[in-house]
Structure 1
Amino acid sequence: SHDHDLPHYAEAAPDEFLTIIEEDLRCSDPVVFGLLKPDSGSFWAPSSQTGLFWALECLAWNPKNLLRVSVILAQLSRQKIDNNRVNKPDDSLQNIFRSWIPQTAAPVSDRVKVLKKLTEDFPKIGWEICIKQIKPGHSVGHYSYRPRWRSDASGAGQVVTNGEIYKFTRKTLGFLIDWPSHDEKTLGDLVEYLQGMPIENQSKVWNLIDEWSRTAGEAAKAVLRERIRLFAFTQRGRQRKLEDATRDQAREAYDSLRPNDPVIRHSWLFANQYVPVSTEEIEKEGFNDNDQEADERIDKLRREAITEIWDERGFKGVKDLLAPSGATDLIGRYTASCVTDVCSQSDFIQRCLSLDGELQSKAEWCLRGFLSAIGDDVCAEVINMVAKKLSVEESKRLFVCAPFNASTWRLLDDSSEDIRTGYWKDVVPYWKDQTPAELNELIDCLLEAHRPRAAFHVVCMNFKDIETSRLKRLLHDIATVNTEPAGQVGLDPYYISKALDLLDGRVGVTPYEMAQFEFLFIVALDHSKHGIPNLESQIAQSPEIFVQAVALAFKRSDEGEDPPEWRIENPEQRAVVVSAAYHLLNQIKKIPGTDENGHIDKEALVSWIEQARQ
């Protein structure tokens, strides 16, 4: 509640303010961390942390407070703050120590001493401050909160001279080079910012890598090796216009870090769906790593990698490759080319299903990629063979991983009710050239499983192929069934408008039904192509609907009660309907009595008004 006043308290009594926070941070459960709790994320929502950081920034201008403030901010930086606000303790620290626009009046010598203390007591935070000082290229700086009454910031906080910048950055570079315990992360950072260093320091970095690699593990070597590749040998590396000597040193370090384990050596190919290709491996000049040739090159490397891993390590190699991967479906897809006979495929599937714990989800995605790559006919044969050997739960997981098409659904017909029900409850549906019959079938099954939004997401590209009664039921359930997890499947207003456009005018759909749908989706249809033409027409014909909307949107000014049929007892449902009624009153534009040509029938309009008033 004192958030806005904290900077004033701090400026009024700096020592007392810092002492209070320091004593609190020594407790087992500091109260100050309560101010760092995540906020709602709204742009306009108040934040309980801003005043605290401004107070500390205010005190950091005075050189005698710099160490105490920096230590407090470093301690607060250990608490993760999950919001998008700029005000965070590590951001305040970066602003204070930014070489070219330091937000403190402390001279270089004092800043260096404090920063050295931070690197010793808070190495992770100290490293991030130091490494940002040598980042090549342009950077953005922010001004910190300044004192209102004291003169601590007088003449400070603006861009400093090149000499002062050079002096401070050379000191921080010395801290980085002489770091007591380098690892793949710190060395990778030095490589990434290599162009911000003098030549002699660049040589020291390569020597550090050479010395570190003699005792480092293969997994750590692979991480640093990939960062060197991204720095020097990709399209972005080419844009850096590195000197030949730098590229040669990078190549030497890259080759020396080559892991012997094939899984570790090739894991970079499956770290993500997209992998920047090494431009040196393509002879074509002017190569762009976004074109077809890059995709073909990565595809070839992945096939060769999986073949080598499978030949040397078998399923265990694939399992080890899954753990660090962010593209496990690709691992399954490429493994399918190595596992070609039905017995081996059956064994691979069972092994994937046997993995549990943290690997279970990754193994299931691997299985999805594997099953999608072996072909529908073979896939159906293998699934049918394996399903007979599995428990109900394992069978359900197998079917969920199978291709989302009619071949899988026909196999489900011969399964137990528990498996079929579990499948439609958990399957991740997706569009893939389904026939109209398949689209209508998946709608029925997903609606039965109370998943209308999932069904809508699949068929939104093919509304014309959906039978009228199913499309009506689908739209109705989207608006009224609320059993799917919030945020799991979004509804794009464009597709809602498109669905109503295709439904409007079909045989078996009355204008009154269309008006009901338009009211259900009144918020989504705001500014849409479809709009609310049927609803407007219904209101123009029936003043009772207009009056009911007014009654729902606004409270009565007297002590009377609305008719029972207008009352909504459920608070959540009432809130939704009230909002919809309010949107309706804002959106309707058609004047009652208006004909198709836009002419207004005076008598019809007067009659409508009289009925509405009555």
Structure 2
Amino acid sequence: MDRGGRYLNRPAASLRTAFLLWSPQTNATFSQRLKVLDRIRKRYPKPAWKLMLGILPTGHDSFSPTPSTRWRDFSTDKKEVVTYQLIGKGAEAVLDRLLEDIGSNAARWVALLDRWSDLGDRRQKAAEQLKQVAQGNPTKDDRELLRTKLRGVLHHHRSFRDADWVLPEEDIAELQVIYDALAPLDPIESVAWLFDPSVSLPNPTGDWDKDEKLLQSQRAVAAAALLRAHGTERFFDLIETVREPGFLGQAIAQSDAPEDIQRTLLVQALRSERDADQVFARGLVWTKYRSAGRAWAEGLFDETLKGDWGDKALLTILLALPAAGWVWSLTKRAGEVIEALYWKRFNILWSKEDDADPTYVVEKLIEAGRARASVHFIGYHLHGGTTFASELLARALFEAGSQPVERELDGNDQMLQYYAEEIFKRLDEAKDMSTDTLVKLEWLYLPLFEHSQRKAKWVMAELASNPDLFVQLLSAVYKPTQDSEVVEPPVENEEHAQAVANQAYRLLRIWDVIPGTQADGSIDGAKLEAWIKEARKLAHALGRGVIADQKIGELLSASKVDADGIWPAVPVREVIEAIRSRDLETGVMVGKFNRRGVTSRAYGAGGSQERQLAKQYRDWSQATAFDWPRTSGILENLAKDYDRQATAHDQDAERLDWR
């Protein structure tokens, strides 16, 4: 039973590898595999169909070989040799079975059309069968399914006419005949596909710009022709049918339909309650504005406002116009409700004009509850050289960190992280931004800095200078030990406490600024010792003494190699000797191991890396044994652990040879 998923091998993939024509992962012969395949077709037709498509040879393919047994040999004495002749024979057998099982199933024909280039000399037979399906009165859904796929195939091959892989012209012409035979009688069905979000023209030029112009022309001609032949009522049926009514509005505006007819359609659509009609009107207004200009747009707005055509009509007109100061003046005239809706739906990627004030847009987006969108908007304009006040940048980040996500309009989280980081860089350079504000912002955006080139430097510096904050973070994550006899009241807001604990844990994990660190990277030993003593005292009073020592030790592991070529730095060695805490020393070892990160090595390389590390730590241990004996003990323990790891890797490499 396949439970689904994408990250592990699935049963269907295993079945495919056993039946691969060019590298079968089984000892069964070709004829034996065909017999099994026929049994599967009879008992399990759907999986069999997918299997046959999966093993049909193609121009490029790959698979993961099945591992062979290590200790017992189950192979046959005489294994069948795979030759090109055998692969060709297998392909013909599979194709015959595919064409036998396909019938009039539209979904299967769509799948087979994806492999049309792989059908070889069976392509003519397949075309004849598909032609019979097209002439056999398929259902509306099946007809549309087949037409859509055929358009894609025709478009693909005619867009690259000179490519080596393109089908012969006679085969393409055969598909064109089938496509034409599937043409619906209903006038709406026959043109609705032109107004899809992505259109594959069945007879493209091969030049993207020319194809775009060709598509625009065909849309305009089709829209005007249907309007002339069937009137406005059927035209509004078309609006309701197409997937992108905005393209239809654009087509009518670009067509040769009389101006009075275009106006009738626009007014009727603007006054309609149907969403599709409003989208159509928006496309028409946007296209018309580009040719008629601002005066036409303002006149339409005034007429709509005075004629009381409704809030939907006003909003549609405003959203169709560019991001410009004169448009925002119209939104104010429309009233508070319309203005609020406008900024709720304002597209931050929309075209703008010279009188557009980016600062005004940011403020309105924040007011509309779209601070995340404002961060994206700021990011776009920062790259364009626009500057924003530091206060506004900070406000946008604060609001974006607390407002819910509007995914459809506010962009994806990856770009939000990128733009937020760009804003932080601007705030780092600002002279009028307080450290307290930067600390609060970094705390709010802490997940951003886990994998960022810019560290959360302000909040980590604050933590390195404030032992009380360190203990607060510990208390948020860890409970007091039982032997401390510290009893704390129950948490009032569990959800908030969990969120704070997650942030605190994250900050403690990425924190690498040792207290007492100076601007040049050196460490003031007196400041470091004073910070640790105060932190330990506060933590002990709250029942967190043990975990405090461990976390302090993990932090000390971030020390650099000192000028004498020995790790850790001398002030860290001194404080280890002064504190004399086994928990702290354990934390140093744990932190140092974790900071090594992920390793990689050549196949069968063994533990050479670990032996080098063991030697280095042992040399340091011997060099520090007299002056810093506890530090020497930490270094010797690290060396012993790496000795054990080296032995384990050596044993793994040796086991690889057994295969």
TM-score, normalised by the number of residues in structure 2: 0.64
Match of 2:403 among 467, 481, 493: 481
Indicate whether 1:99 and 2:21 are aligned: yes
Larger mean Cα displacement after TM superposition, 462-471 or 478-487: 478-487
Match of 2:652 in 1: none
Aligned to 2:126: 205
CA distance in 2, matches of 1:503, 1:346: 53
Q: 1:191/1:542 Cα in 2 relative to 1: closer, same or farther (>3 Å)?
A: closer
Distance 1:138 1:123, change over 3 A: same
Alpha-carbon contact 2:193-2:242 (below 8 Å) kept: no
The equivalent position to 1:128 in structure 2, one of 22, 32, 50, is 50
Give the count of matched residue pairs.
515
Alpha-carbon distance, 1:341 to partner: 4.1
Amino acid at match of 1:555: K
User: What residue number does 1:446 align with?
Assistant: 365
Secondary structure of 1:493's partner?
A: helix
- Aligned equivalents of 1:151, 1:591: Cα separation in 2: 60
C-alpha displacement at 1:452, in angstroms?
1.7
Counterpart check, 1:559 vs 2:485: yes
Match in the other structure for 1:509 = 433
Give 2:420's match in structure 1, choosing from 475, 496, 509. Answer: 496
Number of the residue aligned with 2:458: 534
* Superposed displacement of residue 297, structure 1: 1.0
Aligned mates of 1:220, 1:529 — CA distance in 2: 49
User: Does 2:498 correspond to 1:575?
Assistant: yes
Greater Cα offset, 568-577 or 115-124: 115-124
CA distance in 1, matches of 2:145, 2:406: 42
Can you list the C-alpha shifts for 1:170-215, whole angstroms capped at 9, x where unaligned? 233223334563366555555553443443x333233334444444
Q: Deviations over 1:525-551 (max 9, x none)?
A: 234344233334433443333333333
- Asked if the contact 2:442–2:459 (Cα under 8 Å) also holds between the matched residues in 1, the reply is yes
Structure 2: give runs of 5+ residues left out of the alignment: 538-659
Contact 2:249 2:283 in 1 (8 A): yes
Alpha carbons 1:332, 1:368 under 8 Å: kept: yes
Secondary structure of 1:461's aligned partner: helix
- In the aligned structure 2, how far is the partner of 1:328 from the partner of 1:159? 59
Q: C-alpha separation between the residues in 1 aligned to 2:120 and 2:405? A: 61
Using the TM superposition, give the Cα deviation of residue 337 of structure 1 relative to its aligned residue in structure 2, in angstroms.
1.6
Greater length-normalized contact order (CA 8 Å, ≥ 6 residues apart): 1
- C-alpha separation in 1, matches of 2:225 and 2:178: 26
Give 1:449 shift: 3.3
The structure-2 alpha-carbon separation of the partners of 1:481 and 1:131, relative to structure 1 and needing over 3 Å to count, comes to closer
Taking every aligned residue pair, what percent have the same amino acid on both sides? 21
In the other structure, the counterpart of 1:84 is 6
Residue 365 of structure 1 deviates from its aligned partner by: 5.2
Residue pair 2:155, 2:200 contacting (<8 A) in 1 also = no
CA contact (8 A) 1:188 1:224 kept: yes
More moved, 86-95 vs 201-210: 86-95
Secondary structure at the residue paired with 1:576?
Answer: helix
Letter in 2 for 1:533: K
Match of 1:587 among 510, 514, 528: 510
CA contact (8 A) 1:302 1:334 kept: no
The answer to whether the 8 A contact 1:101-1:159 is kept is no
Query: Could you tell me which amino acid in structure 1 is paired with residue 288 of structure 2?
Result: I
Per the TM alignment, residue 305 of structure 1 is displaced from its structure 2 partner at its CA by: 0.8
Aligned equivalent of 1:548, options 468, 472, 488? 472
Higher Rg of the two aligned structures: 2
Tell me, yes or no, if structure 1 residue 459 matches structure 2 residue 383: no
The answer as to whether partners of 2:135 and 2:181 remain within 8 angstroms in 1 is no
Q: What residue number does 1:286 align with?
A: none
Alignment pair present for 1:306 and 2:234? no
Aligned partner of residue 376 in structure 2, secondary structure: helix
Question: Residues 540 and 591 of structure 1 are in contact (CA less than 8 Å); yes or no, is this contact kept in structure 2?
Answer: yes
1:5 corresponds to which residue? none
The one-letter amino acid of 1:517's match is L
Matched, 1:232 2:232: no
Q: Paired residue for 1:611, among 522, 534, 545?
A: 534
Work out the CA distance in 2 between the residues paired with 1:482 and 1:399: 25
Distance 2:235 2:15 in 1: 44
CA contact (8 A) 1:191 1:228 kept: yes
Which blocks of at least 5 consecutive residues in structure 1 are unaligned? 1-34, 37-48, 50-80, 282-288
C-alpha distance in 2, partners of 1:235/1:254? 19
Question: Aligned residue for 1:28?
Answer: none
**CA offset at residue 500 of structure 1?**
1.6
Alpha-carbon contact 1:222-1:264 (below 8 Å) kept = no
* Distance in structure 2 (CA, Å) of the matches to 1:160 and 1:318: 61
Aligned amino acid, residue 358 of structure 2: L
Equivalent runs, 1:113-512 vs 2, <5 Å: 115-116=37-38, 125-142=47-64, 160=82, 162=84, 164-179=86-101, 181-182=103-104, 186-187=108-109, 189-199=111-121, 201-216=122-137, 219=144, 222-223=147-148, 225-230=150-155, 232-235=157-160, 238-243=163-168, 246=171, 249=174, 270-273=195-198, 275=200, 281=205, 289=206, 294-314=207-227, 316=234, 320=238, 323=241, 325=243, 329-338=246-255, 341=259, 344-345=262-263, 347-348=265-266, 350-351=268-269, 354=272, 360=275, 366-375=280-289, 377=294, 378-386=296-304, 388-392=307-311, 403=322, 405-430=324-349, 432-433=351-352, 438-463=357-382, 464-482=386-404, 484=406, 489-490=412-413, 492-506=416-430, 508-512=432-436
Deviation at 1:169, TM superposition (A): 3.1
How far off is 1:495 after superposition? 1.6
Distance 1:395 1:446 in 2: 19
2:324/2:355 contact within 8 Å kept: no
1: CA distance between counterparts of 2:43 and 2:322?
Answer: 54
Quickly say closer, same or farther: Cα 1:131–1:535, change in 2 above 3 A. Answer: closer
CA distance in 2, matches of 1:353, 1:181: 49
**Displacement after TM superposition at 1:524 (Å):** 0.5
What RMSD in Å do the two structures reach over aligned CA positions?
Answer: 4.5
Report the alpha carbon displacement of residue 560 of structure 1 after superposing the two structures with TM: 2.0
CA contact (8 A) 2:375 2:419 kept: no
